[in-house]
Chain A
Amino acid sequence: MTPAPFLEVKKASVAYGATTVLEGIDLAIAKGEFVALLGSSGCGKTTLLRTIAGFVKPVAGTISVAGRDVTRLPPDKRGMALVFQSYALWPHMTVAQNIGYGLKLRRQPADAIARRVAEMEALLGLTGLSRRKPAQLSGGQRQRVALGRALAIDPEILLLDEPLSNLDARIRLSVRHEIRALQRRLGITAVHVTHDREEAMVMADRIVILDGGRIAQAGTPEEVYNRPVSSFVAAFMGAENCVSLAGRVTGGHFAIAAGPTNAPCTVPLAGRPLVDGPVVARFRAEAATLVPADDASAKPEGTLVLSGRVESASYPGGHWRHAVVVGPDTVLVDAPAAFAPNTAVKVCVPPQALFLFSPAGAETAKAGPSAYKSNKASELAGA
C-alpha cells in the first residue's frame, strides 16, 4: 500500500440508532488518488462518504487528513468538498452565485470571486451561462455547476456522491472521462461513490467494494476484476454465472472432481484459500465458450467443461448470449454464432476465468467430522 496515506479512515463504525451501518472500516487513500466506493444500495457506501465529509459522526474509529485527526471537526473544517447526488444547487441563485458562494463565505473580495467563478466556468464549459438559474440548465450543466461549486474553494479532497446517476446514459459516459481528466489535471484526491461497476472501473485508481457495512475487497480495477476474493465480489464484478462443484487441494493445484454435469479437471491454486470439499464456481458470460456436445477437440489444460442444454438465445449486440441449463443451474454464455434452443452443448471455462470459493467458514472447519461430511456430500452429489 501507499507509504503515507493522505486521507485515512481507521476502524470506523457508524450506527443509526441500533442499526450498525458501517463496521470497522479501514481505508487509506494517497494524495491525488481516485478511489471509488462501490456497492449495491444499502451497503453503506454513501454513509462512509458522509462520515468522511463530516455529516455523520462515527460511533468508533477516526478519520484523519494528512495525519491530522478530523473526526470531531465540522464539515467545513476538513478541507473537503462534497458533490451531492441531487446536485443540491440553490434554485434561487444564478450559476455564478452558486459557484461563488463558498468564496463569499470566505469573505473574499467581489472581484476575486468573479475571477475565480469565470475560471471555474471556463474549466467546466459553463461560459455564458453564469446568469442562468439552475432550473434553466440541462442535467449535465447542473452537474458541472455542482462540481464547480465544490472545486471553487480549492478543496484538498473532492467527495462525489453518485454524481452521474441522474444523467442520461450517453452523457454519463463522457462526463466520466471529464471528471477523471479534471481530477488528474488538478491533482486532487477524490472519493467517488457509485453502484455502477463499469463507472468505478473506468474512473478509479482503486476500487473499494462494500458489502453489508464492511469492505469486501479493495484493489485496483484489474485486481478486483480478475482476482475477486469472495463469491460476492465475483458476482458484483460481473461473474454472475454460478455452479456448485467439489474437489480437493493437491499440491499447488485444485482438482475438481467429476460431477453430474462436469468433467474432472485440475486448475492452479494461485494462492487461493481453497479447502477440500464443495466449492462455488463463478465465471463471466463472455469468458466462457460454447461448443456442440459432440465436439471432441482438445481443450487447453485446466479448462472446466460443463454439459448443458441451450434454453434460449438473444442478441445484445456483437455476439449471441445463450441461456444454458447446466444441471439445476442456468448460466449465460456468449458465442459468435447462435445455437438453436434445446441443442446439447458444452460450456468451456478457461482456468484463469474460473473463480472458485470454498463456502464461508470452511477454512476453520477443515479437519474432523465436517470434512468427512463435506466429502460425503460431494460423493452423494457425484452419485
Chain B
Amino acid sequence: MSKRLLGLILVLPALATITLLFLVPLAASIIGAFEIEGSYGLGNFDKAFALYSQDILFTVVIVSLSTAIIGLVAIAIGGYLTLGENTLAVSILRWLYRWPLFIPFIVVGQVLRTFLAKNGMMNNTLVSLGVITPLEATSFLDWRGIVIAFVWKQAPFVALLVSGAMASLDRGTIEAARNLGASRLRILVEIVVPQVATTLIVGLVLSFVTMMSVLSVPLMINAQSPTMITADIAFRLNAYRDYGVANALGLISLLITASVAWIYLKHNVRSQA
C-alpha cells in the first residue's frame, strides 16, 4: 500500500503539469467554443461556418495537397538515398536535404515571399534566362506559395524519417528483387515503400498536424481571401477579441487533425493484427 502511495507521489508532478498546462486550457477552450455571453449553444459554430466555411475548405485542401506532395518528395529523396548508385550524388543529397529542418516557418515564409513574388528572384531568373517574358511573370504568392512553403519545410522531416526506415530494411529484400530483375523504380514502389508504409504515414500525419497550426506562412505569403483557419483565429482574437468564434474555429481544426490521427491509428492497428 505504501509502495503504491510512493508511486503516486512520484508521478504527481508530471500529472499536475499535464493537468494544469494542457488539460485545463484545452477544456477551457473547448467549453469556450460553446459559450455565448454566459449561456451555452452552437452560435459560435454557426458564425464560424457562415464566415469561414470557404477558409475551412481551403485549409483542408491546401494541407492535404501539401501532405500528398510531401509524401512523394520524401519517398523520392529516401528512395534515392537507399537505392542510388552514384555515391557522390547520394552523399551530396544526404548532406543537403536536411537544411530546411533547421529553418523556422517564419523565415521560410520570408524567404519564399522574396523568392516567389512577381518581381522576385524566381521570376527574375526565369526572365534573364529567357524562359519567360517579363509580361508573363506572375506572383506565386497565393495558395501555390503556401503549398511550396509547406513542402519545402516539411518534406525534409518526412524524408528523414522515411530514409531512416529504408536504411534499416533488410538489404536482402532489395537485392532479392534486383536478382529477379526488378528495376530500381519497381523496387522502390513494390518492395521498399510498402515496408516503410507505417513510418511514412506517421511522418505525414505529424506533418499534417504541424501544417494545420502554422500561422506565419499564410500571413506572410497569402494575405488575402481565402486563407487558412489559423489566420482567421488570429484575426478573430486580435481584431475583435472574439474568443467564442476563435475557440469554435480551433475546435474545428482540432476535429480535422483528429480525423487524420484516427486514420493513422486505424492503419497502425491493422498492420499489427
Contact = CB atoms under 8 A, between A and B. Distances in A.
Contact of B181 (A76, A84, A85, A88): A76
A102 B181 contact: yes
A153 B197 CA distance: 28
A82 interface: yes
Q: Binding site of A, secondary structure by majority: helix, strand, loop or mixed?
A: loop
Contact of A92 (B172, B177, B194): B194
Given A91-B195, A92-B195, A76 B172 contact: no
B180 A102 contact: yes
A153 B177 CA distance: 12
Contacts of A75: 175, 178-179
A48 interface: no
A153 B181 CA distance: 10
B47 to A, nearest CB: 48
A84 B172 contact: yes
B125 interface: no
B114 interface: no
B30 interface: no
B127 interface: no
Q: Binding site of B, secondary structure by majority: helix, strand, loop or mixed?
A: helix
A36 interface: no
A85 B173 CA distance: 11
A105 B172 contact: no
Interface in B120-170: 170
Nearest to A92: B194
Given A76-B180, A76-B181, A88 B186 contact: no
A101 B180 contact: yes
A153 B180 contact: yes
B176 interface: yes
Contact of A88 (B173, B182, B197): B173
Given A76-B181, A105-B186, A84 B195 contact: no
Contacts of B181: 76-77, 102, 105-106
Contacts of A149: 176, 180
23 contacts: A53-B179, A55-B178, A74-B178, A76-B178, A76-B182, A80-B179, A82-B175, A84-B175, A84-B176, A85-B172, A86-B170, A88-B170, A88-B172, A89-B173, A90-B194, A92-B195, A92-B197, A101-B180, A105-B180, A105-B182, A106-B181, A149-B176, A153-B180
Given A55-B179, A84-B172, A89-B173, 12 more contacts: A75-B178, A75-B179, A77-B181, A81-B179, A84-B175, A86-B172, A88-B172, A90-B176, A90-B195, A91-B195, A101-B180, A153-B180
Interface of A: 53, 55, 74-77, 80-82, 84-92, 101-102, 105-106, 149, 153
Interface of B: 170, 172-173, 175-182, 186, 191, 194-195, 197
Would you list the 10 A-B pairs with minimal beta carbon distance, nearest first? A88-B172, A76-B181, A102-B180, A92-B194, A84-B172, A88-B176, A88-B173, A75-B179, A105-B181, A86-B172
